[in-house]
Amino acid sequence: MGRGRVEQVDVVIVGGGLSGLAAADLLHQRSLAGRSSASFVVLEAGDRLGGRVLTAEAPGHFGWLDMGGAFFAVTQHHVMRMVDRFGLVIDQTYLPQGKSWRFQLESGEVLELRSDDPTSYPGGLHTLEALAVLDRLTCHVRSSLTEPEVSLRAELFDQWSVADFIANYAMFSPQGEPMHDHTRQAFTVSVRSGFSAEPHQISFLYLLHYAARTGSYAMLADILGGPLSAEGTRLAYGAGDLVAALHGALPRGAVRMGEAVQRITQGKEGCTVTTRDGTYTCGRVIVATAPRDASQGIVFDPPLAATPGAEPAGARRETLTGAAFMGRTIKGFLLYRTPWWRDVGDGHTGNTMATHADIDRFPLDWALDHVWDPPEPDPARPVPPHPNALMTFIVGEAANRWAGRSREERRDALCRQLADIYGTRAAIDELLPDTPAQPSYLEHDFHGVGRFGGCPSALLPPQVFAGVPGALAAPVGRVHFAGSESAVQWAGYMNGALQSGQRAAAEVLTQGVR
């Protein structure tokens, strides 16, 4: 049991990520409007807020680099509403028409593709047909948005991993043929960059569910969709701006840092939340973390599966959190003197996808132009002296392997691979001097940092999802669940974090905090 002070509040929110802050914000705004008077605290285990949103500074180069969640689409209404409400400054991803992008195949061969030619994908029309198949299957899952497990062929698709779908693609191919090899590679890269995991790890039903809550697989995977695509827009001063704005809107003292929750005890009359240093008694608890991360270090008493009156939600939740795993990504930024890729050949967008078979030498999955150039910057804030960033991702199996090497090895491998792909030493030579005081390669791997299992989001292996209907979001007794994965729209994205936090707070208010 915890020692020290005992505090009584109506609602305890576990986790100071976007989701927990959004839950707190809704409770506070309702109080300000005189519509409820639920008291609350946010307990954050770490020493900072934001969870999987983390904006870092490259001293002397670039002030706002998002090492976690960064991008959103203009149809992410919860994010866009916050952008409006707090007057945040946005920047668009650099995607001019008439430029090229590059794709490195498993063989090392490089394809040059045109951003304004709709057939210009690896695999061409085969890939467009595969996208149409995926999105038709996504439509069927989206038809029962809140019950993906009752969608057409749900059991089959949950028995399959994404790799099994690829292997069985002949069933869906108009020609009755296996997936075109370039299409397979393009799809594999898109799965890796979307989920930071390998196709054989992820349930195919879970992938369809994820795409359904995004809108379509094409929107999730195709950056060329512009503002509608999931990577079309970002905050010019980092997603940390949104975290700071939400935090700033909360009453003083509502957020407690360094409060790692150890135990959540549920009784008939209420709950007790125990941290190392204190005890909180409350009517309801909102657990606002990724499903897998919540199960790390928090004891539920009684166990969720044995919560009286919460059958079968408690058992399903336990199954879900027991099976969920996090994607893994080493997200980095290379800071260059010039945006050299924009001048290669007839001009390139910097969008670069790679699936080199030799991942021990060529770790890159995806790179994207991240040059700072907001249309209307905030005059009160400095302009980054070196805004020419290229964002890089090492994900899935490559992340596991490369995590054991040094930062310098990863930096050099990424630069060499980019030099290879673009056929120019600029990718190596244009990098700013990389010193301990002023690094020109910044990176972050959430895996194993504090309670984080990884980034961007929790995933399910085959043969779990269809068996646990509603488990992503259903409350268990007095414990409610937020976290981006539980969102109805844009699960796994920042928008999902906001939506799910608000939904959990509304749930708590609707059901009564006592």
Q: Using the rule CB under 8 A, which residue among 7, 57, 112, 144 binds another protein?
A: 144
Please say which residue, 413 or 509, places its beta carbon nearer to another protein: 509
The minimum distance between CB 163 and another protein, in angstroms, equals 17
Collapsed DSSP state (helix, strand, coil) of residue 320:
helix
Angle at CA 143, nearest 5°, toward 140 and 146?
A: 120
Q: Using the rule CB under 8 A, which residue among 49, 130, 271, 389 binds another protein?
A: 130
Q: Strands, E, within 105-196: which ranges?
A: 110-114
Please say which residue, 27 or 390, places its beta carbon nearer to another protein: 27
Pair 334, 389: CB distance under 8 Å:
yes
Number of residues assigned to the chain: 514
Q: Using the rule CB under 8 A, which residue among 78, 102, 316, 444 binds another protein?
A: 78
Any contact of residue 309 with another protein (CB under 8 A)? no
> Per-residue string for binding with another protein, 6-35, x by CB under 8 A?
------------------------x----x
Report the alpha-carbon distance of residue 399 to residue 359 in Å, rounded: 10
Q: Residue 197: CB partners within 8 Å, gap ≥ 6?
A: 191, 325, 327, 328, 395, 396, 459
Q: Which amino acid is at 51?
A: G
Please say which residue, 305 or 506, places its beta carbon nearer to another protein: 506
Q: Which of these ranges, 172-180, 265-273, 435-443, 461-469, lies near another protein under the rule CB under 8 A?
A: 172-180
Please say which residue, 115 or 329, places its beta carbon nearer to another protein: 115
The minimum distance between CB 175 and another protein, in angstroms, equals 7
Phi, psi of 199 (to 5 degrees): -55, -35
Q: Using the rule CB under 8 A, which residue among 110, 128, 419, 428 binds another protein?
A: 128
Any contact of residue 107 with another protein (CB under 8 A)? no
Please say which residue, 88 or 255, places its beta carbon nearer to another protein: 88
- Share of the chain residues as helix, strand and coil, in percent rounded to the nearest 5: 35, 20, 45
Restricted to residues 495-514, the positions that interact with another protein (CB under 8 A) are 499, 502-503, 506, 509-510
Any contact of residue 226 with another protein (CB under 8 A)? yes
How many residues at the interface with another protein, by CB under 8 A?
A: 70
113 token code pair = 């593709």
Q: Using the rule CB under 8 A, which residue among 60, 94, 112, 153 binds another protein?
A: 153
Any contact of residue 114 with another protein (CB under 8 A)? no
Q: Using the rule CB under 8 A, which residue among 11, 113, 133, 242 binds another protein?
A: 133
Residue owning tokens 């488990």: 471
Any contact of residue 77 with another protein (CB under 8 A)? yes
Any contact of residue 118 with another protein (CB under 8 A)? yes
DSSP state for residue 62 in the 8-state scheme: E
What is the distance between the terminal CA atoms of the chain, rounded to a whole angstrom?
Answer: 23
Query: Residue 449: which of 247, 293, 321 has the closest Cα?
Result: 293
The minimum distance between CB 65 and another protein, in angstroms, equals 21
Q: Using the rule CB under 8 A, which residue among 114, 140, 386, 407 binds another protein?
A: 140
Report the alpha-carbon distance of residue 353 to residue 367 in Å, rounded: 7
Any contact of residue 275 with another protein (CB under 8 A)? no
296 token code pair = 């790390």
The minimum distance between CB 79 and another protein, in angstroms, equals 9
Any contact of residue 392 with another protein (CB under 8 A)? no
Any contact of residue 172 with another protein (CB under 8 A)? yes
Report the alpha-carbon distance of residue 81 to residue 95 in Å, rounded: 24
Report the alpha-carbon distance of residue 398 to residue 155 in Å, rounded: 30
Any contact of residue 171 with another protein (CB under 8 A)? yes
Q: Is the peptide bond prior to 382 cis by the omega test (within 30 degrees of 0)?
A: no
Restricted to residues 31-60, the positions that interact with another protein (CB under 8 A) are 35
Report the alpha-carbon distance of residue 194 to residue 55 in Å, rounded: 20
415 token code pair = 């630069």
Q: Using the rule CB under 8 A, which residue among 154, 255, 271, 426 binds another protein?
A: 154
Q: Using the rule CB under 8 A, which residue among 4, 37, 48, 125 binds another protein?
A: 125
> Per-residue string for binding with another protein, 418-457, x by CB under 8 A?
----------------------------------------
110: left (phi over 0), alpha (psi -120 to 50) or beta: beta
Q: Using the rule CB under 8 A, which residue among 151, 190, 272, 388 binds another protein?
A: 151
Q: Using the rule CB under 8 A, which residue among 5, 252, 309, 380 binds another protein?
A: 380
Report the alpha-carbon distance of residue 271 to residue 478 in Å, rounded: 7
Whole-number Cα distances in Å, 100 to 143, 170, 193, 221, 417: 36, 31, 19, 17, 18
Q: Residue 37: CB partners within 8 Å, gap ≥ 6?
A: 31
Alpha helix (H) ranges present in 271-406? Answer: 291-294, 313-323, 396-402
Alpha helix (H) ranges present in 278-425? Answer: 291-294, 313-323, 396-402, 407-422
Any contact of residue 488 with another protein (CB under 8 A)? yes
Residues binding another protein (CB under 8 A):
30, 35, 74-75, 77-78, 80-81, 83-85, 87-90, 118-119, 125, 128-133, 135-140, 142-146, 150-156, 170-176, 215-216, 219, 222, 224-228, 375-376, 378-380, 488, 499, 502-503, 506, 509-510
